[in-house]
Structure 1
Amino acid sequence: MAENWTTLRELLLPEAPKRGRAIESALRDAIRDGRLLPGARLPSSRDLAGQLGVARGTITAAYTQLVAEGYLLARHGSGTTVASLGAEQHRPSQQPGAPAWRLDLRTGIPALAAFPRAEWISASRSALAELSDDSLGYPDPAGFIGLRTELASYLGRVRAVSATPDQILITNGAADALRLTIEYLRTTGHHSVAVEDPCLPGERELIVAHGLRPVPVPVDDDGLQVTELAKTSCRAVLVTAAHQFPLGTVLHPERRRALLAWARDVDGLIIEDDYDAEHRYDRPALGAVQALDPARVAYQGSVSKVLAPAIRLGWTVLPDRMHTAIVARKRFSDMGCATLPQATLAWMLRSGGYDRHLRRSRALYRRRRDALLEALAHKLPDWKPIGIAAGLHVVIRLPDGIDDRLLSQALAARGVNAPALAGYSTQSIFPGLVIGYATLTPDRLRAAVTEFAAATPDSSQAAREESG
């Protein structure tokens, strides 16, 4: 049994003399120095005595003294563990975490409390039971074939995506898919990527981090302005065609055709981020741009907006000319994604559990969206919600004269996280707030609108100040 604790004997207490005080001091120093962390379980007094070649009573006395000083905890049936109190003052200072918002209206997060835990556990058990022993080895860098097969069927059925299992690459979320694509573009001679303006700031940051320059292209009510895209020197563009982020517009059919014509003319690539297309309420489903020209579109998505970001599963459907090189890059970067969660997701897709969860969550999100819109219409009728037909967020267009950045700051001071639209764009557009509603109950969304009204200066007062 003592051999199970050789690390403690050989690495932490190698020089400790065989005297109680010296052993006690060596343990105390290991805790203070952070070599024994809070929660670490120590050997029993009998085991440690055997390792160090001392009487058991010597170790018992040392443990008792360190428990009295607050360095150790001793619980019947749980053994002896390192306490947090004795090490707390010697641990490195922690970086301050994110603010504890009273009302967090950030985008990009689904209702985490609605995650189908029981179905996921059941699917995980079923998937593990049917996996072969060989499947528990290093994964295929392209992804678990069972998941790629189910995704090819699902994406064809739900998004009209044209894909075979061999064209799909499984990634650690959509960000991993975008990273791999950007790195491929850089190695094949690209220097820049066009992005929608406004867009998610993190996308611009990711592009810069991996060696390319993001070039903003304006968006209007019909989506990306392809005529402006054609004025750039870019040969690749990142678009959210089904539900533009954050404005919520849909890329008009004529713009879709123009975008594909642009890609053919410049021998370019369209990166289609289909981040939340499953969530729609007041409009019919829209097919992916990828279906119109699979050779010119790299299509990407994930389960982050449907299930939970913590699962870290995404995918990209790649043009044939890119597939081999990007799968090789995936293999060299992380050896592929974990097989067990892939197998679990494949089981949920095959059994219908994924579709059932989507039906439940759509109804949930519609109720929350409607509560937000009703509260806005009642308390702030001059505030105009945009992009309400789909997704997990809305943009609220503010009356002229309200500075969205200042309003966002005022709300933050009240414990409300409501990002300003100005933070998503490189150009000056209308003032607005980008509001995610998926994570809050209807009552809390109504409370958020009350906070909006309380933090907003009276419109007549604002007008007088502007005229003065």
Structure 2
Amino acid sequence: MSRSRTNSGSGELLVELRRETAVPLHQQLESGIRERIRQGLLRADTVMPSTRALATDLGLSRGVVVEAYQQLVAEGYLVSRTGGYTQVAPAAARTSPQDKEKPAPTGPPRIDFKYSRPDVSQFPRAAWLRSIRRVLNETPHLSFAYLDGRGADELRTALSDYLNRVRGTSARPENMLVCNGFAQGSRLLLQVLAASGYKRLAVEDPSDNELREVATAAGLEAVGVPVLESGLDVGALERSGADAVLVTAAHQFPTGAVTSAETRAALVEWAARRDALIIEDDYDAEYRYDREPIGAMQGLAPDRVVYAGTASKTLAPGLRLGWLILPARLVEPMAAAKIVDDRGSPVLDQLTFADFVARGEFDRHLRRMRPRYRRLRDALVGRLAERLPDLEPIGVSAGLHVMAWLPADVSESAVTQAARERGLGVYGLKPYWVQNAGPEGLVFGYGGLTEPAVVEGIDLLADTIASLRR
């Protein structure tokens, strides 16, 4: 009969012992531990349970465990440490077959222009800590019970006030839903739309490829619509037969195009005429440098536009805080979908962010970060002009990235690969084209870099391109 037990006192170790066999128990224990080390299941420097605790856990005499440990120490699988504890020997763990099969990690690029990386080193820890303390000291106990599917009322109220003031939305707390970033919010929304009869989602071409995959998984057909200098091509949208469209109107990703007033009006008119829905991803509109702020489309047609925002670019992506402003007809099904998905986002984070926003700390943080990001943008654009004048950046007036078309004599794949060999991460446009048929270019995310790193990175890119041309 098999018998396996675990110890909850001085560490746990699952070992199977067969007491009906003729093999001595100490040998079975040795074999079990030895095999787990060989398989990589017990890693280097893992602290083993004490002999007394393991003996009690497995129903053995302590002498059996001591004998097994001594044999494994003699073989080099375990090592006894000062203080009376035993660990897995590093040498034994390093030679496990499983570890040999793993490819050697390549590591991240030394300088990485990857998009979607704000400067998390500037997270306002002191202000956030003050908000956490106020929440813990002042929040009624009932606020920590199960949540409404829309999220904490305090955060929905703070965000609606903020967005109406800063982004020109027409938000009410009862029409807002708090989610775990845009990823969860968009996934739930597309699932709800598919369940209610929507068939085809139009997306900007080029655009973020992840949402297209989410749409397909939800049962929607994703179709690409070209992006013009004035925003989405509404004529092509008409011909697409879509009943919903996703736009990044304030700062198109990745081209940086700003949707004009005429295009906004045409989009709203299209949605009204077709009884369609506009999904507005307002992902980085708080950062603008060379133009006046442009309000959100949601304020033009609250019953036709779903507004999506997030703290990922403004504070830190690890917070997983996002929000949606919904037309009234979508509030209940979205709240129900949120409850089914995860029972609600963590209330402590929501209440902390609500206090942070309501006390003006969010505004102060953004005022502090705008000039910092502008200096990075200026360093990037300036160095490109000096070293790579034929890579003219576009979409530079806002956000945390710029884009540049590549000249015809330079291949996107060759540049990205050769740059990577020099420790430089640069990223091409190919993944963002819906049909993979557009011109080639590079997207430069600069939010998480320093000015010297930006300059050095462009110098490395210039050298890379020069070597390819030679």
Normalising by structure 2, what TM-score?
Answer: 0.87
Higher mean C-alpha displacement, 425-434 vs 200-209: 425-434
Rate the CA distance shift 1:35–1:405 in 2: closer, same or farther, 3 A: closer
Contact 1:396 1:432 in 2 (8 A): yes
- Using the TM superposition, give the Cα deviation of residue 303 of structure 1 relative to its aligned residue in structure 2, in angstroms: 1.0
Letter in structure 2 aligned against 1:248: G
The root-mean-square deviation of aligned C-alpha atoms, in Å, is 3.0
Letter in structure 2 aligned against 1:4: S
Higher mean C-alpha displacement, 44-53 vs 417-426: 44-53
- Using the TM superposition, give the Cα deviation of residue 272 of structure 1 relative to its aligned residue in structure 2, in angstroms: 0.2
Q: Which structure 2 residues correspond to residues 257-268 of structure 1 after superposition, within 5 A?
A: 257-268=265-276
Which SS does the other structure have where 2:245 is aligned?
Answer: strand
Rate the CA distance shift 1:389–1:70 in 2: closer, same or farther, 3 A: farther
- Using the TM superposition, give the Cα deviation of residue 60 of structure 1 relative to its aligned residue in structure 2, in angstroms: 4.1
Rate the CA distance shift 1:238–1:32 in 2: closer, same or farther, 3 A: same
Distance 1:346 1:73 in 2: 52
Matched, 1:283 2:291: yes
Higher mean C-alpha displacement, 100-109 vs 119-128: 119-128
Distance 2:318 2:364 in 1: 20
Rate the CA distance shift 1:80–1:127 in 2: closer, same or farther, 3 A: farther
Aligned to 2:3: none
Aligned to 1:44: 50
Contact 1:18 1:54 in 2 (8 A): no
Aligned to 1:255: 263
Aligned to 2:375: 367
- Using the TM superposition, give the Cα deviation of residue 86 of structure 1 relative to its aligned residue in structure 2, in angstroms: 3.9
Higher mean C-alpha displacement, 422-431 vs 349-358: 422-431
The C-alpha deviation readout for 1:236-258, integer Å capped at 9, x for no partner, is 00000000001111100011111
Aligned to 2:15: 12
Distance 2:308 2:430 in 1: 26
Contact 1:12 1:35 in 2 (8 A): no
Q: Which structure 2 residues correspond to residues 13-412 of structure 1 after superposition, within 5 A?
A: 13-15=16-18, 20-32=26-38, 41-52=47-58, 54-56=60-62, 58-67=64-73, 69-72=75-78, 79-82=85-88, 86-87=92-93, 89=96, 91=98, 94=102, 100-412=108-420
Contact 2:177 2:323 in 1 (8 A): yes
Matched, 1:451 2:421: no
The C-alpha deviation readout for 1:4-46, integer Å capped at 9, x for no partner, is 359958x534546885444333433444456656676543333
- Using the TM superposition, give the Cα deviation of residue 278 of structure 1 relative to its aligned residue in structure 2, in angstroms: 0.8
Rate the CA distance shift 1:87–1:124 in 2: closer, same or farther, 3 A: farther
Distance 2:147 2:326 in 1: 19
Contact 2:7 2:54 in 1 (8 A): no
Distance 1:44 1:229 in 2: 69
The C-alpha deviation readout for 1:71-94, integer Å capped at 9, x for no partner, is 446555695455665455254755
In structure 2, list runs of 5 or more residues that go unmatched: 1-5
Contact 2:10 2:49 in 1 (8 A): no
Length, aligned pairs only: 459
Contact 1:18 1:52 in 2 (8 A): no
Letter in structure 2 aligned against 1:211: G
Letter in structure 1 aligned against 2:15: L
Letter in structure 1 aligned against 2:340: F
Distance 1:435 1:344 in 2: 33
Contact 1:180 1:329 in 2 (8 A): yes
Letter in structure 2 aligned against 1:389: S
Rate the CA distance shift 1:171–1:73 in 2: closer, same or farther, 3 A: farther
Rate the CA distance shift 1:399–1:257 in 2: closer, same or farther, 3 A: same
Rate the CA distance shift 1:144–1:71 in 2: closer, same or farther, 3 A: farther
Q: Which structure 2 residues correspond to residues 427-442 of structure 1 after superposition, within 5 A?
A: 428-442=437-451
Rate the CA distance shift 1:186–1:417 in 2: closer, same or farther, 3 A: same
Contact 2:255 2:402 in 1 (8 A): yes
Letter in structure 2 aligned against 1:49: A
Rate the CA distance shift 1:29–1:412 in 2: closer, same or farther, 3 A: closer
The C-alpha deviation readout for 1:292-317, integer Å capped at 9, x for no partner, is 11100011111111122222111111
Which SS does the other structure have where 1:231 is aligned?
Answer: helix
Higher mean C-alpha displacement, 306-315 vs 237-246: 306-315
- Using the TM superposition, give the Cα deviation of residue 129 of structure 1 relative to its aligned residue in structure 2, in angstroms: 3.4
Distance 2:179 2:457 in 1: 36
Which SS does the other structure have where 1:298 is aligned?
Answer: strand
Letter in structure 2 aligned against 1:214: A
Distance 2:184 2:428 in 1: 27
Letter in structure 2 aligned against 1:269: L
- Using the TM superposition, give the Cα deviation of residue 396 of structure 1 relative to its aligned residue in structure 2, in angstroms: 1.5
Which SS does the other structure have where 1:230 is aligned?
Answer: helix
Rate the CA distance shift 1:367–1:6 in 2: closer, same or farther, 3 A: closer
Letter in structure 2 aligned against 1:249: A
Rate the CA distance shift 1:77–1:310 in 2: closer, same or farther, 3 A: farther
Distance 1:95 1:135 in 2: 48
Which SS does the other structure have where 2:8 is aligned?
Answer: helix
Contact 1:21 1:62 in 2 (8 A): yes
Higher mean C-alpha displacement, 254-263 vs 156-165: 156-165
In structure 1, list runs of 5 or more residues that go unmatched: 463-468
Letter in structure 2 aligned against 1:152: S
Distance 1:196 1:376 in 2: 27
Contact 2:15 2:29 in 1 (8 A): no
**Percent of matched pairs sharing the same residue:** 42
